[in-house]
Chain A
Amino acid sequence: MHRPEKLLGMSDLSMHGHMELNGNREAVVEGCSGVLEYDETVVRIRTPGQVVRFTGRGLSIRCLTADALVVAGYITGIEFLG
């Protein structure tokens, strides 16, 4: 049995979003579908298939659009939660 995303020709990358880190100061997440938790020490966001949790100090969301988000601050950890 084929998975629907395989049938539609979608890659694994597009199904799980795309994340880019600039050191530990900035993370650009493409394919973000919502903010679940947000304060200065934790930013938890929903991406297709999983939840990503950024921890650190002085975190802020620099910009937020329908499918992308930029987290800035001093990032000390990134967790991928099923």
Chain B
Amino acid sequence: MFSLKLTRWLIGFARFSVRGGSPERFYTSCARKGIYLWDISAGKTTSVCVAARSYRALRPLARRAGCRLKVLEKRGLPFLLYRTRGHMGLWAGGAVFLAIVFVLSLRVWCVQITGECPYPTAEVENALAAEGLSRGVWKSSVDPRILASRMMLKFPDIRWMSINMHGCEAEIAVRKKIQKPEIADFSGFCNIKASATGQVLSMKVYAGTPVVQKGDAVVKDQLLVNAVVEDQLGGNTLVHASAEIIAETSRDLTVRVNLKQPKTIPTGKTVFRRNLNLFGARIPLSLFGKPAGSWNISRSESSVSLFGTVLPLSVYEEKWEETRVAETVLTKQQALTAAKQEADRQIKELLGSGKVISEKSEEKWESSALVKTIHLTCEENIAQESAIFIKTG
């Protein structure tokens, strides 16, 4: 029903009254002539609707039926447009508007990344822009398939990427790659040697012949598991030895913290530089250029969204904070904390999955530095592969 009403409004229609004569004869003549009439009401206020373009053809038929027609109202788009015939500016404005809408609809105005992206959005957006997909580019210049392939080559942690164009929006659907577990390399032959001096606490030998026992003291580079395996018949076979030898080891660490340290301090002077990004064009809102001196810069971009769709309108802001380098003297507590942090970092790097059983530390205060020496007793895997090179031929 709505579509019928809309069609009638688009083609335009007239409501008219039929007076005198024989209205029935008039209606029959109209029907026979192929003129479509609707909403024919009877009674004192007879009114009929007809398509605007057919109204002229009714006159002779009404005359023959002895009726007089009077237009009561005219409705629809043609009448609306006719009323604006004297306003050429309105027509020109409408035409320009349509042209602008048409031209704008041929471009990409929104690039949205969806799904689990293992890379920062800005990094992917920059790469997309480098490949030719950014706000304001022509939609026809973007080949989604080729672009997706190039992007997947550029970002190896992306399993697949699909670029879907929805009107003026480019949706970048991304799926993260699931990392493969590392495959242990068992090619070639090797012995297991001790990576540190200590006492063996436990042994798990997966391949090879163990040459030490639980409780034995071992020195660095001592053979722990032999790659030569002797079978029951007395034959020897070379294998890729593999084992986990947990031993109690001793380690010494020295951490030096300078009491006088250069530090970047903000002076309190802050400058904001803003740009308005409208349809891909950057309109500067701040009129001063890059300030001289040492500055810390933080950037942010706030986009305008409508019903979840990011619009091609955003404000880019750069916050410039002036800084100066000053030499600060650490207090005793600050120096100790810094030394502890550095020691923890070094222990983690040194032991990996091993653990510290006990530790003893000594602090030595020099005129300009704190030297902290730590004696560690650790439990760690000391098994270290040592390759055997065999010359053939």
A34 touches B37 (CB 8 A): no
A64 touches B42 (CB 8 A): no
The 3 A-B residue pairs with the shortest CB-CB distance in the complex, in nearest-first order: A34-B28, A61-B40, A63-B38
Chain A residues positioned under 8 Å from B38 (CB to CB):
62-64
- Report the stretch among A5-13, A37-45, A74-82 that lies at the interface: A37-45
A33–B31 alpha-carbon span in the complex (Å): 8
Chain B residues positioned under 8 Å from A64 (CB to CB):
27, 30-31, 36-38, 40
Chain A 33-64, CB-CB to B under 8 Å as 1, else 0, gives: 11111111000000000000000000111111
A59 touches B42 (CB 8 A): yes
Chain B residues positioned under 8 Å from A36 (CB to CB):
24
B24 touches A37 (CB 8 A): yes
Chain A residues positioned under 8 Å from B34 (CB to CB):
65-66
Does B23 touch A at the CB level, under 8 Å? Answer: yes
Residue of A nearest to B23 (CB): A38
A66 touches B43 (CB 8 A): no
Does B73 touch A at the CB level, under 8 Å? Answer: no
Give how many A residues have a beta carbon under 8 Å from the other chain's beta carbons: 19
A63 touching B24 in the complex, CB below 8 Å, given contacts A34-B31, A39-B42, A40-B42: no
A60 touching B40 in the complex, CB below 8 Å, given contacts A35-B24, A35-B27, A65-B31: yes
Give how many B residues have a beta carbon under 8 Å from the other chain's beta carbons: 17
Chain A residues positioned under 8 Å from B37 (CB to CB):
61, 63-64
Which B residues between 19 and 55 are near A, CB-CB below 8 angstroms? 23-24, 27-28, 30-34, 36-43
Residue of A nearest to B39 (CB): A62
Q: Which among B24, B33, B36 has the highest number of chain A CB atoms within 10 Å? A: B24
State how many angstroms separate the Cβ of B28 from the closest Cβ of chain A: 4
State how many angstroms separate the Cβ of A68 from the closest Cβ of chain B: 9
A61 touching B32 in the complex, CB below 8 Å, given contacts A39-B42, A40-B42: no
Chain A residues positioned under 8 Å from B43 (CB to CB):
39-40
Partner-B contacts on A (CB < 8 A):
32-40, 59-67, 69
State how many angstroms separate the Cβ of A19 from the closest Cβ of chain B: 17
Q: Which among A33, A59, A64 has the highest number of chain B CB atoms within 10 Å? A: A64
Partner of B36, one of A34, A35, A37, A65: A65
Chain B 179-193, CB-CB to A under 8 Å as 1, else 0, gives: 000000000000000
Partner of B27, one of A59, A61, A62, A67: A61
A69–B30 alpha-carbon span in the complex (Å): 12
A62–B42 alpha-carbon span in the complex (Å): 11
A38 touching B32 in the complex, CB below 8 Å, given contacts A59-B42, A60-B41, A64-B40: no
A38 touching B42 in the complex, CB below 8 Å, given contacts A63-B36, A65-B36: yes
7 new A-B contacts at CB < 8 Å, known A37-B24, A69-B31? A32-B31, A38-B42, A40-B42, A62-B40, A65-B34, A66-B34, A67-B31
State how many angstroms separate the Cβ of B76 from the closest Cβ of chain A: 17
Chain A residues positioned under 8 Å from B42 (CB to CB):
38-40, 59-61
Chain A residues positioned under 8 Å from B24 (CB to CB):
34-38
Chain B residues positioned under 8 Å from A39 (CB to CB):
42-43
Chain A residues positioned under 8 Å from B27 (CB to CB):
35, 38, 61, 64
A34–B65 alpha-carbon span in the complex (Å): 14
A66 touches B32 (CB 8 A): yes
Chain B residues positioned under 8 Å from A62 (CB to CB):
38-40
Q: Which among B27, B31, B37, B39 has the highest number of chain A CB atoms within 10 Å? A: B31
A33–B27 alpha-carbon span in the complex (Å): 11
27 pairs, A vs B, C-beta closer than 8 Å:
A35-B27, A35-B28, A37-B24, A38-B23, A38-B42, A39-B42, A40-B42, A40-B43, A59-B42, A60-B40, A60-B41, A60-B42, A61-B27, A61-B37, A62-B39, A63-B36, A63-B37, A63-B38, A64-B27, A64-B30, A64-B36, A64-B37, A64-B38, A65-B31, A65-B34, A66-B32, A66-B33
A28–B275 alpha-carbon span in the complex (Å): 66
Chain A residues positioned under 8 Å from B41 (CB to CB):
60
A66–B29 alpha-carbon span in the complex (Å): 9
Which B residues between 280 and 311 are near A, CB-CB below 8 angstroms? none
